Chains A and B, each alone.
Chain A
Amino acid sequence: MKEPFRIKNHIDKTLTSLQVTPEMRNSLTRCIAQKTRPYSMRHVIPSIRHHKPVLVLTILLVLISVGALAWSFGPSIRTWFEQRLDNANVAPVDSFQETPSTPIASTQIGNISILVWEAMADEQTFLSNVEWIAKGNVKLVAYSGLKQDLPSPLDASVVYVSVSTWYGGASQEIFSISQGTENRVSILSEGWDYQATEEPMTFSCSIVYLENGQINTETNTVSAPVRKKQTLETAKLRAPLVFPITGYELTELHMLRTELRIYWGYTSSGKNQQLPYAIRNLQLRIVDSTGQVLPDKLPYHTMLPERLEAQIEDLDTGDIVESIPLIHQNNEYIAP
């Protein structure tokens, strides 16, 4: 069974040019002298086994110190961080925290592989991560999918990529490129109005390319299972809020960090309601500190408001009949 294909001979002939050069030797000597790893900037811990007892003792001491510190200051540090986070008021976007090591779905158009790494959604929003990998002499460029976005003149060596996420007959075609190299483009997309009933999520993937001076489009679809997105509640109303004059009651108010959504509910039992408000056409609304009425869905990347105001508006006259300010404090909206 030895040498059935003259492997050694063939490999040595093919790889003749791969030889240890004087530069490599110098680099090796330098690495050993400086106790560093070759080429890269990684550092080698020098012979730690000679210092094992010292190392173990040091690790133990560090662990004990960290434990003691956490024991004594843990609660206050946590409170401090929470306050800092609250003060920052920046609502982080739900992210792909555990990107899987294998794609959840994939397809191929010619020399281009399309990999869907992740698709997440809740009842309202979706996030997806799609990657395009080109083999051979093709350069990928992502664009928004509209023909007028194509540069003029077109570069014949470039394949312009468009990806669409389809749901319920409507497509979301605005994408941001998170990273791109010459032969791979990653596209993270996000959007509203995802209908959770429509699973799996279908990606319509098209490439636009030039052939004999003509623009051609080739499309393929790939369906990917959707992972449930975690909804993190950021702030809610501490207790129902009673408007003494109109008798209205704000029963719930939620600001959701991941969805950046506000919703509320209110009732008017008529109890304690003063005349003449019982016969007026009233409505509750929430405004921010600038007096802007908040829609029930806030635009993406909106800051979480520090101060809000719940107002009872007379729809006939446009007057504000009654208002109660609300302050965001420790994940709750309270009336001061």
Chain B
Amino acid sequence: MIPDSVRAAKLEQWVDSYGNSILRTCFLYLADRSLAEDAMQDTFVKAWYSMEQFSGRNESSDKTWIIRIAINTCMDYQRAPWFKHVDRSRTVEDLQIPVQDVSEEAIETTLAVMSLPPKLKQVVLLYYYHNMTMTEIADTLSINRLTVHRRLQKAYVSLRVESEGGEFR
């Protein structure tokens, strides 16, 4: 049994190290700031309750483990019946985040990633944003490594098409 003080310190360290990237990942998934904040907190609450279980297994890095929780949490949110009926905005204005002094290219890349189909978005975020290896992604998503590779290629083509179409460079 891990003492509460140790758990609290560990959680603090996780929030410091991965909080922002988890929050942004949730946002890219859910396209809603409040939902993303909820999902981020949900992720860390789940991590807190499962900390002991994780320490016992120690089969992957804590970052990979937390990302996996975050992805599952976002997928749970997306599975909610009402989520399907909400129009997910794709314009900068509707994202409700201040984007002053940000290049158009950066904004358009972000929007392009957000518009990818969920399965492709998953691998793109894990591979390019979280710098995970294909094996780690396969492990996180419980899919074949080859499938990861195929999805990455598909996403690459999709992003390239948008890029060449003048959406972003």
Contact = CB atoms under 8 A, between A and B. Distances in A.
Interface of A: 1-20, 24-25, 27-28, 31-32, 37-40, 44, 46-47, 101, 133, 135, 183
Contacts of B23: 18-20
Contact of A11 (B15, B24, B45, B87): B24
Nearest to B28: A11
Given A11-B24, A16-B102, A28-B15, A6 B49 contact: no
**Which 9 interchain pairs have the tightest Cβ spacing?**
A38-B41, A20-B19, A10-B109, A10-B106, A7-B128, A14-B110, A13-B106, A15-B24, A17-B98
Contacts of B36: 18
Nearest to B84: A101
Contacts of A16: 102
Given A38-B42, A39-B38, A44-B45, A5 B24 contact: no
Nearest to B159: A5
B14 to A, nearest CB: 11
| A interface: dominant SS | loop
A46 to B, nearest CB: 8
Contacts of A12: 24
B9 interface: no
B41 A8 contact: no
A289 B78 CA distance: 55
| B interface: dominant SS | helix
Nearest to A12: B24
B156 A1 contact: yes
B97 interface: yes
Nearest to B37: A24
Contacts of B105: 10
Contacts of B109: 5-7, 10-11, 14
A5 B169 CA distance: 8
B106 A14 contact: yes
Contacts of A39: 34, 37-38, 41
Contact of A37 (B28, B37, B45, B81): B45
B29 interface: no
A213 to B, nearest CB: 28
B129 A11 contact: yes
A18 B45 contact: no
B40 interface: yes
A18 B24 contact: yes
B169 to A, nearest CB: 9
A2 B20 CA distance: 22
A100 to B, nearest CB: 11
Nearest to A27: B41
A17 to B, nearest CB: 5
Contact of A24 (B40, B110, B129): B40
A140 B106 CA distance: 34
Given A14-B106, A18-B27, A24-B37, 12 more contacts: A4-B156, A10-B110, A11-B106, A11-B109, A13-B106, A14-B109, A17-B99, A18-B20, A18-B23, A44-B49, A101-B84, A133-B87
